Amino acid sequence: MYVLQVDKEADAKVLRAQSRDLTPRELRSRRTRTLVKRMYATVTDPSQDGVGIAAPQVGENLRIIWVQRLDKPEEPFECYLNAHLDSLYGEVKVGPEGCLSIPPYRGDVARFQDVIISYVSPETLKPACDTVHGFTAVIFQHECDHLDGILYIDRADTVYIDKKWEAELAAYK
């Protein structure tokens, strides 16, 4: 799928918009299942090399995210429907972040190291919640920010071009 870019006016309107929860009917729909599969294919494509993606990044203002669970064995990607951060707590650390919608930039962002997320399980379509720590908690914050029209550059202390990422992007053009 095409990943929207913040430097394109039409794309930026979608990236800056508030996303909505999926209705019960939408949660069960073939369209949602297709979107979820296509988002997964996009974030895991070698040309993207991401650790997460949110539906607004592919043009849909819906509360759907994929997150690579670096805190679990084999570091699987997992999907979260109607994702909401319920609590941010613990230590705050500043670390580098990038975004598929803002290549080849990186920024230093302060993020909480612990979060509680509520969501609807794509497998059972039942409400669930999870407590997440460390860098995976940072990924959840980044992706949930997308659902609220917030980009990491809005929170970054500094933003800079990542020369390594720039070279990797050039290799795929």
Mean pLDDT of 40-54: 93
Residue 152 lies in a domain: yes
CB 32 within 8 A of CB 38: no
Can you tell me whether residue 85 is helix, strand or coil?
A: strand
Q: Is the pLDDT of residue 173 over 80?
A: no
Q: Percent of the chain scored above 70 by pLDDT?
A: 95
Nearest 5 degrees, angle CA 64-CA 65-CA 68?
Answer: 160
End-to-end CA distance of the chain: 16
Q: Which domain holds residue 72?
A: 9-171
Mean pLDDT of 43-70: 95
Considering its fold, how many domains does the chain have in total?
1
Predicted pLDDT at 168? 63
> Exactly one of 26, 60, 123, 143 is catalytic; which is it?
143
CATH code of residue 35: 3.90.45.10
Spatial distance between the Cα atoms of 24 and 169, rounded to a whole number of angstroms: 39
Q: Is residue 2 part of a domain?
A: no
* 142 located within any domain: yes
Indicate whether 139 belongs to any domain: yes
Contact 143, 18 (CB under 8 A): no
Q: Is 91 a catalytic residue?
A: no
Q: What is the pLDDT of residues 57-115, one digit of tens each?
A: 999 999 999 999 999 999 999 999 999 999 999 999 999 999 999 988 999 999 999 99
The predicted pLDDT at position 105 comes to: 92
Q: Does residue 1 form part of some domain?
A: no
